[in-house]
Amino acid sequence: MVYLAIPFVGLAVYVIYHGVGSAPGVLSAAYISAATATLTTVVLVVFGIPLASYLAHNDSRVSKTARLLIRLPLGIPPLVSGIMLLIAFGPYSVIGRLFGGRLVSSMAAIVLAQLFVEMPFVIEGTRSAFSALSSEVFEVSYLLEIPNWRRIVGVELPLSIKTVRTAVMMGWLRAFGEFGATVLVAYHPTSLPVLIFSQFSGTGLSSAVLPVATVLVVSTAAVAVVGRLATPSKLVLGISDRRGEANEGATGLRTIPAKTGDEVIEFEVSGRIGEFDLDVRVSSTGRSLSITGPSGAGKSMTLRSLAGLLPTVFKRLELGGVEHPKIAFVPQGQGLFDHLDVYAQMATSARWAGGIRDRREIERRVLAVADQVGIMALLSRSISTLSGGQRQRVALARALVSSPDLLILDEPFSALDRFERDRQIRFIRSLVIELNLYLVVVTHDITEAAYLSQSLAIIDKGRVTARGSVGDLLKDPGSVEVAQILGYENILPLVPRASGGFELADGASHESDSCASIVFKSSGHRIVAWEVRSEGVELGVNFDIGDGIVTMKAVCLILDAIDLGTYTTAIFSSKRQLNIELDLGETNQELAVGSVVEMRVELDPRTTSVLSKVGSVT
């Protein structure tokens, strides 16, 4: 900072002692420089910002080549740029001859020189700002069917306005001060940098001070003006502020009609995305479907394909009796537009995704849905002031205001605390039932799946590995992999016992030794016998299976006990180093960690399965 201040202080001291002197033509030169820099900046704002948006959201070879070309002028000396421009636009070039050789030594030539050097600042700076925005913002605006130019000016630009203003400001200043290329292609008419050069080289320092001071004054004014630029987002998006004209009678309206037809969800998405192969085919009865699976299985990719965000992936979607279903998508991060208040978020959806043009009707629709979702008190609030649960409701309301046939939710509760998550689960369940919507939701939580959907599909490595109702899959997971995804606490490999029944396979070699696995939840079982044993007794776990009853006989070490109020979760260990987790009621008080117990437990048949190695239930 001190170093930067020294030249300015030096100039000020020089002016105080020697004055600014005089320089014929300084006003004309200032006008030429300011006018051409402004024209160049306007051209880049009008054409360069849309190009920056394209480059920010596209990673094709064409996009990469364009980014390289745009950056090159930053590393090219200005005089070299001027020579290149003379070759391209000079009086003897093909383009120059088309204009009769008049492109050089004109204001058009100054604009060409300024355009070449300013382009990297405006386009690359704006591209970087747009790239920093959440991809969900772009995806949601696309799904809301906002036209491209309105999306750029009404959504992307306001969200990154500070960075874009800086890019435009730097570009204007670079164009205003351009000398090296300009002096070769347009020595006349004289711009301020050329005037400074001619005055200094002709009569010395004293005659150059006035144009130098003019540069500083004009640049300061330009910085002040550009720093106040803003975009009229609501005007561009075709919406207005809430006027209160539709208040009367809005409360309690049910503007989203019930759908008719067979209750079935069928879809197919298949294709290759990068190195990932996706081939998901689902056919389920009912109006709601949950999708779960391990991380990286392709769940979110499936939803994005259904929503139309992956156009290269083949998609087939059928909702019983609904032709050309309208889809609303709420991404994991909600994709809210932080520069708009809650009312404007919903009004934008009603205007473009809902196709409503009349502003009174937009207001009526917004108020009706806001009342349904319970966010009437939030309509004037900005997004930054909302809690996680409130943001979730606003994102849901924005989706519903377009009257969709299918609502898609991608892990909607992942960012909420447990209390708020439980509230939102019950709220969305009742709302979806009330509005008679089709619902597809991705979740890692089986409880969420049970509350929100009638059917469950489990995806792994881009394929469906199991499907059915949540209850049926919990009773009969069909494979160890599915049991793991469903959250079974106990998944134990078994080997036959010489005296009958099964015992635990060795923990180090159970993959090759076991002939089956037993999977069971930690709760719901009946303790038949329980006895604390002395140390030195041999540890082991056996299972007797017959007539639909599985009995576990175990001598185990208590590794841990977690008091959860009405019950205690105990972790047991056998000699095979495979732990067993059981939820024990208040009657089981002797849970001293480190002690050995012998117990006989009748496992709940509703949450216990014995699976062969090929996955069939025995």
Report pLDDT for 478: 87
Tokens of 180: 């090296």
413 vs 410: CA distance, rounded Å = 9
pLDDT at residue 70 is higher than 80: yes
Give phi and psi for 552, each to the nearest 5: -100, 125
DSSP β-bridge partners for residue 559: none
pLDDT at residue 257 is higher than 60: no
List b or e across 433-456, with b for residues whose CB sees 16 or more CB atoms inside 10 angstroms.
eebebbbbbbbbbbebbbbbbbbb
Report pLDDT for 513: 54
Among 298, 259, 272, 306, residue whose Cα is nearest residue 409:
306
Cβ-contact 455, 439 below 8 angstroms = no
Banded model confidence at residue 267, pLDDT cuts 50, 70, 90: very high
With left for phi above 0 and alpha for psi between -120 and 50, is residue 72 left, alpha or beta? alpha
398 vs 491: CA distance, rounded Å = 43
Tokens of 232: 């009229």
Q: In the 3-class helix/strand/coil scheme, how is 410-469 assigned residue by residue?
A: ECCCCCCCHHHHHHHHHHHHHHHHHHCCEEEEECCCHHHHHHHCCEEEEEECCEEEEEEC
**Residue in this structure with the two tokens 């002031």, named with its chain if needed:** 385
Report pLDDT for 432: 85
Report pLDDT for 255: 41
Report pLDDT for 615: 47
303 vs 289: CA distance, rounded Å = 12
Quote the percentage of the chain above a pLDDT of 70: 93
Report pLDDT for 252: 39
* Torsion sign, CA atoms 418, 421, 427, 428: negative
Banded model confidence at residue 254, pLDDT cuts 50, 70, 90: very low
Report pLDDT for 263: 83
Distances in whole angstroms, Cα of residue 548 to Cα of each of 107, 165, 529, 551, 617: 92, 72, 20, 10, 12
Look up residue 332 and give its DSSP letter: T
Question: Which three-class secondary structure state does DSSP give residue 290?
Answer: strand
596 vs 535: CA distance, rounded Å = 7
588 vs 194: CA distance, rounded Å = 93
Report pLDDT for 275: 85
pLDDT at residue 485 is higher than 70: yes
E strands along 274-342, which residues?
276-285, 288-292, 314-319, 327-330
List b or e across 510-529, with b for residues whose CB sees 16 or more CB atoms inside 10 angstroms.
beeebebbbbbbbeebeeee
Banded model confidence at residue 246, pLDDT cuts 50, 70, 90: low
User: pLDDT tens-digit profile of 331-371?
Assistant: 988 999 999 999 999 999 999 999 999 999 999 999 999 99
User: pLDDT tens-digit profile of 86-97?
Assistant: 999 988 899 988
367 vs 351: CA distance, rounded Å = 14
Banded model confidence at residue 238, pLDDT cuts 50, 70, 90: very high
Distances in whole angstroms, Cα of residue 558 to Cα of each of 195, 571, 594: 89, 6, 5
Query: Burial of 577 by CB count in 10 Å (0-12 exposed, 13-18 middle, 19+ buried)?
Result: exposed
Report pLDDT for 212: 93
Computed over every residue of the chain, the mean pLDDT equals 88
Mean pLDDT along residues 31-48: 96
Peptide bond into 496 cis (omega under 30): no
Proportion of the chain in helix, strand, coil states, percent, rounded to 5 = 45, 20, 35
Can you give the C-alpha Rg of the chain in angstroms?
Answer: 35
pTM of the predicted protein model: 0.84
Banded model confidence at residue 311, pLDDT cuts 50, 70, 90: confident
Q: Which domains does the chain have, with CATH numbers?
A: 2-235 (1.10.3720.10), 264-475 (3.40.50.300), 483-612 (no CATH)
pLDDT at residue 243 is higher than 90: no
Quote the percentage of the chain above a pLDDT of 90: 53
E strand or H helix at 143: helix 135-143
Mean pLDDT along residues 78-89: 92
245 vs 4: CA distance, rounded Å = 56
User: pLDDT tens-digit profile of 293-305?
Assistant: 998 889 999 999 9
Banded model confidence at residue 320, pLDDT cuts 50, 70, 90: confident
Tokens of 406: 């299918």
User: pLDDT tens-digit profile of 566-605?
Assistant: 888 999 988 666 899 999 876 555 688 888 999 999 999 8
Q: Could you count the other beta carbons within 10 Å of the beta carbon of residue 536?
A: 6
Banded model confidence at residue 509, pLDDT cuts 50, 70, 90: very low
Report pLDDT for 617: 42
DSSP β-bridge partners for residue 463: 460
